[in-house]
Structure 1
Amino acid sequence: MTYAEAVEWLFAQSRAGGPRGLSRILELLQLLGHPQAELPAVHVIGTNGKGSVVAYLEAAFKAAGERYGATTSPHLLDFRERIRTHLGLIPEAEVVRFVEWAQGQQFHEPVAFFDLTTALAFRHFASLGINIAAIEAGVGGLLDATNALPWVRATVLTNIGEDHLETLGGSLEGVARDKAGAIRTGVPVVTGAEGIGLEVIRGIAAERAAPLFVLREGSPLFDLPVQPSLQGRFQRQNARLAAAVLRLLGYDEPVISTGLSTAVHPGRMQQLTYQGIHVVLDGAHNPPAARALVEELEGFHLVFGAFPRKDYRTILQTLLPKARSVRYTYAARGALRAEELLQAYPAPYFDHPLEALQHAVQSSQQDGSPVLVTGSLYLVGEVLRLLEEQSATNPLPTETIR
């Protein structure tokens, strides 16, 4: 089996309409010998900012010389980006070995992609003797595969917003209850949530005697000793949450400063120059992320692609007031096509993302406004992949990525 075949098999796995829950991941982990049993972790949950918080934590763990692990999703260019350690991305050979093992098992119920990916990460971390891990939840918290972690040293609940509403209870309160359901008894909780989300978190934290630390300006626990490396005003909140967790875990200020100032998280307010034009790539895929994104830009020429399971109409309504021109593209397999997108707002549609980008560049050349590519991290990843391929076959001196 090749690595590409292994990844293709992983993506083809689903729970086949079965209910959400931990039974599949727990069976996987039992068959693997419970690799999660000795894995101390920070569990990062929320609607937005999870990956950024993990990036800050990961950079700090690296600065401290830890044997660390980190998980995020989705990936941009390579599946292995989802599972990282102090030694780098998980090796291709280990992914292949895991898939070959999984194909030889008889599971009581169909296992899904995220269950398999989570089990693979935990097994990899156990094999390396990881002494701290930053684990990003997938959807929700209580029933998410990552909630199989038995040893959580701190829980981060970044925020509560409008995403996965149908899956997580149909309301912000339902979303909050599902995410806050992962709070552990006696384990400290750090959150930037507000409103009804914070009310729910307060209640569950109190029931479980979990110390709760709420983001407040001026609080020494959430102090930013340096300017965060990730772009965007909203990143300051993510950095404050990470700083608070690191202090609660006992890391010193130099380590915290290094982590906050060196974190890397591609696809979030990522800046590049393409054919002499400023391009911003951001994976905003829900209304709260779109609202935070538009606050960073005065005007832009929009390249948009999204998936039907997302609230793409509200995202578009958020982006359109500052969009000086709009065009759609096909984000990735399963994404919205022209018919659905044109019902939301009339604009040209391009099957190929680079054609959409070049069309936006032409508009940008007229007024100097940047091009914004957004709506899905899968779209951002596809654009980055295509630009890499184009650069490899026909290098352009005007094209730089930073």
Structure 2
Amino acid sequence: MSRAGSDAILARMMSLHPKVIDLTLDRVWRLLAALGHPERRLPPVIHLAGTNGKGSTQAMIRAGLEASGDRVHAYTSPHLARFHERIRLAGELISEAALSDLLDRTHAANGPDPITYFEITTAAALLAFAETPAEWTLLETGLGGRLDATNVVERPALTVITPIDLDHQQYLGETLEEIAGEKAGILKRGVPCVVAPQHETALEVIEAKAARLGAPLMAHGQHWHVTTEAGRLIYQDERGLLDLPLPRLRGPHQIVNTGTAIASLRALGRDEAAAEAATRASWPARMQRLTQGPLVDLAGGAELWLDGGHNPAAGMALARSLAELPRRPTHLVCGMLNTKDIGGYLRPLAGAAQALHAVSIPDEANTIPAAETAEAARAAGFETVTQAGDVAQAVREITAQAPSARILICGSLYLAGHVLRENG
């Protein structure tokens, strides 16, 4: 195979399977065997699953471990601006040269055999992690857990389950119990698991699976607690109480994610890393204030924010985040994919914003057309709804009407990625 840039190789990988998602581990096991089983040669693994908060929690665990001087590999998905964001080697995003070589080798090992894009790129990441020295490996599931391509490590050091809610029902099941069963598939015999706050039905599924496997649980509300008091984060478990600064990541839901990260670090024996987990972590497109770039210039005196949440729980979390900010006229610019529950996402936000501009997500075949998003917004309770040709047009129209508005671009990580690329 001739050497090519990573984009060209990734494009070839997209054609290896007719489906984007086809949950099974058979193809991954075959490719990992062809690569010499890199999953058996990884630094100690922390494996994360859940519906919401995986990325933020992983970023906080990584910040804490790195503050202790450890080198940390991290795998996450999807990316926002560039694929390289998915693979962090010993603390640094993978370089273009290293990524191209890695993908080329993985593609050659697979040959023409069917395999999904996520499966083959996950195998590539595991190969990179096995070949690069580090103290830890952080693996975030892409979808579900039991049949996720990351679920190939026989004995991780720790598993983590962030809040579970309804999402991806067409793949994971229609009920919380079914979805929780898939997420709990990352539990391993005898391996401890940190569990974030859960709906009671989801927690029961996790507890039952843990009992069968003899996997010790450290569950929120039972073994650890987190709250805020007088502008501080208060974390408590059986080993004591921590009084810490509020997390750098914004929003009340980040309090839960911070507590989950601290519980994970303490389970790993990194008690001293708790404060750094809260204050050093960064994670784009999670209630992110944009402060420079062409879109910010276009907004003028208006605040410009970006969030990639896309399910009903994310809509509720976003509404709570907006409620905590200083009062200011708030306008949403929203675009979503047709695989998401748009009504469930928008209903909590109807009382948190004055108006909504609906957009289609550029270059996404599964985008909901702006007209349908506008219709869904009216049905969800928004009184002032407008369609815009793109995000820039929406920002111009909003600032012309309300020069000091708060503008929140939201609804999809794919829309957020487009915004970050366009905004530089």
Say yes or no: TM over 0.5.
yes
Q: Report if the CA contact (8 A) 1:291-1:318 is conserved.
A: yes
Question: Once structures 1 and 2 are overlaid, which stretch shifts more, 20-29 or 347-356?
Answer: 347-356
1:177 equivalent among 166, 171, 181: 181
For residue 190 of structure 2, give the secondary structure of its aligned residue in structure 1. Answer: coil
Amino acid at match of 1:61: L
- Deviation, 1:11, is 4.5
1:344 equivalent among 369, 376, 380: 376
* Residue number in structure 2 paired with 1:127: 131
Deviations 1:116-157 (A, max 9, x none): 221111111111123311111111010001101223111111
Cα RMSD for the two superposed structures: 2.0
Q: Distance in 1 between matches of 2:211 and 2:93?
A: 38
Q: Distance in 2 between matches of 1:87 and 1:292?
A: 29
Q: Distance in 2 between matches of 1:17 and 1:238?
A: 29
Amino acid at match of 1:137: T
- Deviation, 1:175, is 0.3
Q: Distance in 2 between matches of 1:18 and 1:59?
A: 31
Q: Distance in 2 between matches of 1:212 and 1:383?
A: 39
- Deviation, 1:87, is 4.5
Q: TM-score, normalising length from structure 2?
A: 0.85
Q: TM-score, normalising length from structure 1?
A: 0.90
- Deviation, 1:108, is 7.9
Amino acid at match of 1:202: E
Identity fraction in percent: 35
* Residue number in structure 2 paired with 1:312: 342
* Residue number in structure 1 paired with 2:29: 26
For residue 321 of structure 1, give the secondary structure of its aligned residue in structure 2. Answer: coil
* Residue number in structure 1 paired with 2:216: 211
Gaps of 5+ in 2: 226-235, 324-328, 379-384
Question: Once structures 1 and 2 are overlaid, which stretch shifts more, 262-271 or 322-331?
Answer: 322-331
- Deviation, 1:224, is 5.7
Q: Distance in 1 between matches of 2:369 and 2:422?
A: 19
Q: Distance in 2 between matches of 1:70 and 1:353?
A: 31
* Residue number in structure 2 paired with 1:229: 248
- Map 1:214-363 to 2 at 5 A: 214-216=219-221, 217=225, 218-220=236-238, 223=242, 225-253=244-272, 255-273=273-291, 274=296, 275-298=300-323, 300-332=330-362, 333-334=364-365, 335-345=367-377, 347-363=385-401
* Residue number in structure 2 paired with 1:398: none
Gaps of 5+ in 1: 389-402
* Residue number in structure 1 paired with 2:410: 374
For residue 167 of structure 1, give the secondary structure of its aligned residue in structure 2. Answer: helix
Q: Report if the CA contact (8 A) 2:16-2:113 is conserved.
A: no
Question: Once structures 1 and 2 are overlaid, which stretch shifts more, 236-245 or 346-355?
Answer: 346-355
- Deviation, 1:179, is 0.5
Amino acid at match of 2:274: I
Q: Report if the CA contact (8 A) 1:301-1:363 is conserved.
A: no
For residue 5 of structure 1, give the secondary structure of its aligned residue in structure 2. Answer: helix
- Map 1:100-179 to 2 at 5 A: 100-105=104-109, 109-179=113-183
Question: Once structures 1 and 2 are overlaid, which stretch shifts more, 213-222 or 140-149?
Answer: 213-222
Q: Distance in 1 between matches of 2:398 and 2:127?
A: 44
Q: Report if the CA contact (8 A) 1:118-1:146 is conserved.
A: yes
Q: Distance in 1 between matches of 2:134 and 2:418?
A: 32
2:89 equivalent among 60, 64, 85: 85
Amino acid at match of 1:306: M
Deviations 1:15-71 (A, max 9, x none): 537841111111121111111102221111100000001101111121122221011
Question: Once structures 1 and 2 are overlaid, which stretch shifts more, 27-36 or 343-352?
Answer: 343-352
Q: Distance in 1 between matches of 2:121 and 2:48?
A: 16
Deviations 1:241-268 (A, max 9, x none): 1111111111132x22223210010110
Deviations 1:88-109 (A, max 9, x none): 1112122222333344345585
Q: Distance in 2 between matches of 1:382 and 1:18?
A: 22
* Residue number in structure 2 paired with 1:385: 421
Q: Structure 1 residues 102 and 300 mapped into 2: Cα distance closer, same or farther (>3 Å)?
A: same
For residue 169 of structure 2, give the secondary structure of its aligned residue in structure 1. Answer: coil
Q: Distance in 2 between matches of 1:24 and 1:229?
A: 40
* Residue number in structure 2 paired with 1:392: none
Deviations 1:273-315 (A, max 9, x none): 4222111211111110110110111462010001001111211
Q: Report if the CA contact (8 A) 1:364-1:371 is conserved.
A: no
Q: Report if the CA contact (8 A) 1:303-1:360 is conserved.
A: no
- Deviation, 1:4, is 2.8
Q: Report if the CA contact (8 A) 2:61-2:277 is conserved.
A: yes
Q: Distance in 1 between matches of 2:108 and 2:7?
A: 18
Q: Distance in 2 between matches of 1:220 and 1:359?
A: 54
